[in-house]
Amino acid sequence: MSYETVIGLETHIQLSTLSKAFCADAAAFGGAPNTHTSIISLAHPGTLPRLNKNAVEYAVKLGLALGCDINRYTTFDRKNYFYADLPKGFQTTQDRAPVCIGGSISLKIDKPVGGRTNPRIRIHHIHLEEDAGKSMHDQSPEHSYIDLNRAGVPLLEIVSEPDLRSPEEVAAYMEEMRRLVRWLGVSDGNMEEGSMRCDVNISIRPQGSTTFGNRCEIKNVNSMRFAKRAIEYEVNRQIGIVEAGGTVEQETRGFDVASGTTYSLREKENAHDYRYFPEPDLPPVVLSEQFLADIHAAMPPLPAELEARMMQTFALPAYDAAQLTQDIVTARFALQLLETASVRNAGNNLNKQIANLLINKLLPWSVSTGVALEACPVPLDHWIAYAELVESGKLSASSAAQRLFPAMLEAPENAPEELATRLNLLQSADNDFLEQLVDEVLARFPDKVAEYRKGKKGLIGMFMGEVMKSSKGKAEPQATTKLLQEKLS
Ligand code: ADP
Ligand code: MG
């Protein structure tokens, strides 16, 4: 019997607002424990929440990007449970009328293992809620410590439909979601710092079946690698149970990173266990058409749109387009370069050279120096001229380009061709220059020349290497090959 894996994700995103969801405490990650706390985060009796308008704006922004319907009338609820890191004794969340309903996200899977290349995953809804504090059990043998800096930080929970079918699709979903929230500026999507965490709901069913099996929910998976391992383990565990004639119990499970296994935490709790009820301290939020229109008007073009433009208008390979649309700053800079180059009437090959320059040189430079791309002192025209030098073969792609790049950053006002000439980096297709070198090399290896003429044609590479060496990388490869072939025939 073969089985199909069915997965639905509940993704928590910490919003990058300055202050918390319901008070003015800083929402920033870190800080000395219990310093981002006021009487509201600490739940002193008599304190009242006040909704952060920015958090609502961010929710709407993400909702619009995912094609959700935005609830014009949205309300808050209390989800009651007891835990030491939850001073109020309830989480303020949205149960009845979440801010966003429906929508979807489209994924791209490079090498699907017998699966889909472009699955579209439906979103059930997105709701606003608040984070809890952090308990630390490893600081002392006798005590647990609690840091309430995180208590009350605004979160969005994005609940997908059970539309995912493999660990690859889950990884692609998380990556796409992360790119989108960072792009929109609503979250830093940093999984290590916990700004993005996933609960993974998993079930299996016989291939071809149209009903769902019982699911297990794996809590707080905080990296894509762990998600993959947790899913693989859990799917095998469930198949084992079913094959042995048993039934999978619906429950909440944890993932143990060290052993790569999942373990039972508790029986699945139901909504009534939380005694949800309307939050009496926060009035319903009514979103005006103007509020939505303003957010809509300020939306940047979406990453998938710019990625498609790079492939369609500028003929970049899918891999390059994906690399260049990881963040909006890079994407905008890349498109500015590509557009400027196309005004200069360059061909599509130049676009590929521009992509290479960005991916292999400029982005690593920006990361290692901490200087933003758009703050780079070299004018766009010079980068395009650099790409032209590489594309035309005047500059040998590897060594000479490697040296010209830092020289341009050091002398940003100089045209690259000038710099390359001064540094003696231009390849030469000049026939007299090449002929002299080729003759000299052939004279040095009479035995090899004889072998070549007897049919050992592979030796051409060795002759090329020698000519390159004595030209110090300046011999233009195509002209050199042609000349060698002529002289050896
Ligand atoms: P609850 O409110 O009890 O958490 P939901 O119906 O809201 O349950 O579902 C939570 C998540 O579980 C959603 O992401 C949904 O897609 C997913 N899910 C629901 N049923 C299944 C199933 N049979 N297999 C896998 N995932 C499921
Ligand atoms: Mg749930």
Does 402 have pLDDT greater than 90? no
Can you tell me which atom of ligand 1 is nearest the CA of 163?
A: 16
Report pLDDT digits (tens) over 344-381. 765 667 999 999 999 999 999 999 999 999 999 999 99
pLDDT number for residue 264: 92
Q: Which of 115-124, 140-149, 200-209, 397-406 has the lowest mean pLDDT?
A: 397-406
Mean pLDDT of 278-303: 97
pLDDT number for residue 222: 83
Can you tell me which atom of ligand 1 is nearest the CA of 217?
A: 12
Q: Is 480 exposed, middle or buried (0-12, 13-18, 19+ CB in 10 A)?
A: buried
Q: Which of 373-377, 419-423, 442-446 has the lowest mean pLDDT?
A: 419-423
Q: Where are the domains of the chain?
A: 3-290, 300-422, 431-488
Candidates 12, 122, 201: which one to mutate for ligand 1, based on the most atoms within 8 Å of Cβ? Answer: 201
**Contact 98 CB / ligand 1 (< 6 Å):** no
* CATH architecture entry for 431-488: Orthogonal Bundle (1.10)
Closest ligand by atom to 217 CA: 1
pLDDT number for residue 394: 81
**Contact 7 CB / ligand 1 (< 6 Å):** yes
Can you tell me which atom of ligand 1 is nearest the CA of 212?
A: 23
Structure tokens at 314: 């500028």
pLDDT number for residue 421: 87
Q: What is the pTM of this model?
A: 0.86
**Contact 238 CB / ligand 1 (< 6 Å):** no
CB 78 within 8 A of CB 279: yes
Report pLDDT digits (tens) over 81-101. 999 999 999 999 999 999 999
Tell me the pLDDT of the chain averaged across its residues.
92
Does 429 have pLDDT greater than 80? no
Neighbour-count burial for 4-42, b at 16+ CB within 10 Å, e otherwise: ebbbbbbbbbbbbbebbbbbebbbebeeebeebbeebbb
**Contact 10 CB / ligand 1 (< 6 Å):** yes
Does 397 have pLDDT greater than 60? no
Query: What is the pLDDT confidence band of residue 185, given thresholds at 50, 70 and 90?
Result: very high
CB 93 within 8 A of CB 76: yes
CA atoms within 13 A on the CB side of 433: 15
